[in-house]
């Protein structure tokens, strides 16, 4: 790797190397030495950018979630949105979910990896309690990502939430989490999209003008 890369660029390169390895080998089998080799850098570079494997895995799950968030933020329909009211809120939520779902279907290995990291953190947490932090930070970051979507939706449509947005983001995440896992099992995209309609209805029903 070029020595001219910034620390953030180095970190991003190492995260992508870790994702590729974890998709092929499984999270438990990945070592920082493997990541260094895959990224073409010394082991010292990995430990300069990340304290240990757990810190690297925490950044991996943030990266995977950020990719979905950025797909919504980067959609021109969001920036051009001008409709107001509850119906518009429901439409905007469904559009945002559809954009995320497009990326989910395009990257099934990455989606499976998110569940594997959760399982890894929970299973290893008995022996290494600090590893529970990977899963907890993973879901806290996911919550904050959906919270941003919910706040964006009400801001653009001139509506407000009946429930605290933080509670609603947690509910929404639980529904999406289960939907993605089910889709990974049965690959039924038609039913998955129907469920996205229902999720949009359930969440939009918690808004007022």
In tens, the pLDDT along 76-127 reads: 998 899 999 999 999 999 999 999 999 999 999 999 999 999 999 999 888 8
Residues 41 and 57 in one domain: no
Residues 16 and 96 in one domain: no
Q: Mind listing the pLDDT tens digit for each residue in 99-108?
A: 999 999 999 9
Tokens of 6: 């910034």
Instruction: Give the domain range for residue 197.
Output: 52-208
Q: Mind listing the pLDDT tens digit for each residue in 185-207?
A: 999 999 999 999 999 999 999 99
Residues 1 and 45 in one domain: yes
Measured distance CA(182)–CA(33) in Å, rounded: 34
Q: What is the mean pLDDT of residues 35-44?
A: 94
Paired strand residues for 208: 160
Between the CA atoms of 26, 28, 32 and 35, what dihedral angle is there, to the nearest 10 degrees? 0
Of all residues in the chain, the percent with pLDDT exceeding 90 is 76
Residues 30 and 118 in one domain: no
- Residue 184 φ/ψ, nearest 5 degrees: -65, -30
Residues 24 and 12 in one domain: yes
Give residue 2's pLDDT band: very low, low, confident or very high (50, 70, 90): very low
């Amino acid at each position: 790797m070029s020595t001219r890369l910034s620390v953030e660029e180095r970190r991003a390169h190492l995260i992508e190397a870790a994702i590729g390895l974890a998709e092929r080998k499984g999270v438990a089998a990945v070592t920082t030495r493997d990541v260094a080799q895959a990224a073409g850098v010394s082991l010292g570079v990995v430990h300069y950018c990340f304290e240990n494997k757990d810190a690297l895995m925490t950044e991996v799950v943030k990266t995977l979630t950020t990719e979905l968030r950025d797909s919504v933020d980067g959609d021109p329909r969001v920036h051009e949105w001008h409709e107001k009211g509850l119906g518009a809120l429901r439409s905007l939520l469904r559009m945002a979910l559809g954009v995320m779902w497009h990326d989910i279907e395009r990257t099934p290995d990455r989606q499976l990896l998110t569940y594997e990291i959760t399982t890894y953190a929970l299973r290893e947490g008995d022996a290494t309690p600090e590893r529970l932090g990977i899963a907890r930070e993973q879901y806290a970051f996911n919550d904050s990502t959906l919270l941003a979507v919910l706040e964006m939706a009400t801001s653009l449509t001139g509506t407000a939430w009946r429930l605290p947005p933080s509670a609603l983001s947690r509910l929404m995440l639980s529904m999406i989490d289960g939907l993605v896992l089910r889709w990974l099992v049965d690959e039924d995209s038609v039913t998955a999209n129907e469920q996205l309609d229902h999720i949009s209805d359930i969440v939009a029903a918690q808004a007022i003008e």
